[in-house]
Amino acid sequence: MSLRAQLSLLYSLLAGVVFAAAAFIVYALVSVMLIDQIDYTLTSTANVVMSSTRIDAQGQVVVDQLPVMDVTSPRYIQVWNTSDELISESQNISSLRLSLDPDGLRLPMPAYRDVELNEVQLRVLSVPLQVSGRKMAVLQVGTNRALVDELQGILRTVLGIALALAILVAGLYGWLGTSLVLSPLEKVTEAARSIANKDDLSRRIPNVARKNEIGVLIEAFNQTLDRLEDIFNKQKRFLADVSHELRTPLTVIKGNAGLLRKMKEPDEESLREIEVEVDRLTRLVGDLLLLAQAEAGRLELHMQPVELDVLLTEVLKQARILSLDKVQIHIDEIDQVMVRGDRDRLKQVLINLIANAIKYTPIGGRVGLRLVRAGNTAQLIISDTGPGIPANDIPHIFERFYRGDKARTRSLDGSSYGLGLSIVFWIIKNQGGDIEVKSIEGQGTTFVVSLPILKEKEST
């Protein structure tokens, strides 16, 4: 069953239940009002009869005069003594020798009862007539219920027809209304099928119902498509970049292998180039694996208190060995700061950023390191005197395989392939920190890593 049919059926059922409840209440109220009117008439007649009733000298109940009731009158009157003898009756039932309500003769209190007498439905009021607390007789006043029953039957018929019409109208309205409301969902379905059939992630659904739930759904669907298209494009670029990165070292390895095959004795230079390219491929595969694990959520960070000042001092020694004295590396300022993080990954961040600074700083240039407090954060600042980064490239430098201006492209040793900063970005973000880049072309680049300082309570 379609959603439209389900909603229409639901509307019909709800309308039927609501209208049936309303019809029951109306029927009950009208019936109560009609019965109350009958009871009021019976009570008035009984009061008139009791006003004409007395006790004679022999202690017998005497009715001086009954209201005149002709044959067509719907009201009937009887007075019975305690010996079940009929004392008096109205003229329109003078031939009736039966009590209007035999069981009512035994009741100690006035009561209204519905009875059937000679296949006629009656409403009877039985009133015990007492003198000094002693029951002397019973007055019964009855009336024919035919009119009330007829009115109730007509009311049931009218309400039944109205209920059927209400269900029909609710079903029709539900069908038309849901058709109008669900029409945007048909566009969503059509777009989803088009995307599935044509692999067209660029298509979007026009949102003409922005203020309701369907509009929110369409907007979320479009956002999902944006995300999927972005991921798909990044994947395509990723595959293209990986292919490009692998092509160069594989070509070198293949060429050197072919050259070695032709030589009688091994060529040390060719072997060295093969080793360099193999090392580069190993690093590339390792970094790709690291990023894949990170994005899949399988890369665990072992969080613990880390003394950043001690860590920076350790990295400085390695950086000076790495620079081969071609670049001056100095700690310009260092504060004693402790953060919570993965020590090995933070060390990887420092080595990567400092290695980048060394790589892009000309011989004789300078790389400055600073560790300072800035409110509740610790800032690691790595500055170089290299060529800088163009402003257009700065928003993209943390993307995988991104390389912008030639001034900061891969160095002559071919060791850079554009994954290091992506790894740095992931590590910092997943330890609650932030990283930003400031660069002026021709004047150098500064990376600022911010990490929340570990509170004293957390360090104990």
- The SS3 call for residue 450 is strand
Q: Which of 77-86, 162-171, 183-192 has the lowest mean pLDDT?
A: 183-192
- The SS3 call for residue 440 is strand
pLDDT score for 93: 82
pLDDT score for 254: 72
Looking at the chain, the domain(s) classified CATH 3.30.565.10 span: 304-459
Distance CA 453, CA 380 (A): 12
Going by C-alpha positions, the residue among 365, 356, 363 that lies closest to residue 411 is 356
Token pair 């409301």 is at which residue? 181
Say what the alpha-carbon torsion angle 347, 351, 352, 353 is, to the nearest 10 degrees: 100
Distance CA 21, CA 235 (A): 61
Distance CA 275, CA 252 (A): 11
| In the predicted structure, residue 413 carries a pLDDT above the cut 70 | no
What number of other Cβ atoms are within 10 A of residue 447's Cβ? 23
User: In the 8-state DSSP scheme, what is residue 109?
Assistant: S
Q: Which helix (H) or strand (E) holds 5?
A: helix 3-51
Looking at the chain, the domain(s) classified CATH 3.30.450 span: 3-151
Judged on CB neighbours under 10 Å (0-12, 13-18, 19+), 283 is middle
| In the predicted structure, residue 445 carries a pLDDT above the cut 60 | yes
Q: Which of 107-111, 224-228, 339-343, 383-387 has the lowest mean pLDDT?
A: 224-228
| Cα-only R_g, the chain | 50
Band the pLDDT of 91: cuts 50, 70, 90: confident
Band the pLDDT of 412: cuts 50, 70, 90: very low
Going by C-alpha positions, the residue among 386, 385, 390 that lies closest to residue 402 is 390
Token pair 């005197």 is at which residue? 385
Looking at the chain, the domain(s) classified CATH 1.10.287.130 span: 213-295
Distance CA 23, CA 31 (A): 12
CATH architecture of the domain with range 304-459? 2-Layer Sandwich (3.30)
| In the predicted structure, residue 335 carries a pLDDT above the cut 80 | yes
pLDDT score for 282: 73
CATH 3.40.50.150 for domain 213-295:
no
- The SS3 call for residue 143 is strand
Band the pLDDT of 313: cuts 50, 70, 90: very high
**Fold assignment, 3-151:** Beta-Lactamase (3.30.450)
Cβ atoms of 188 and 218 closer than 8 Å: yes
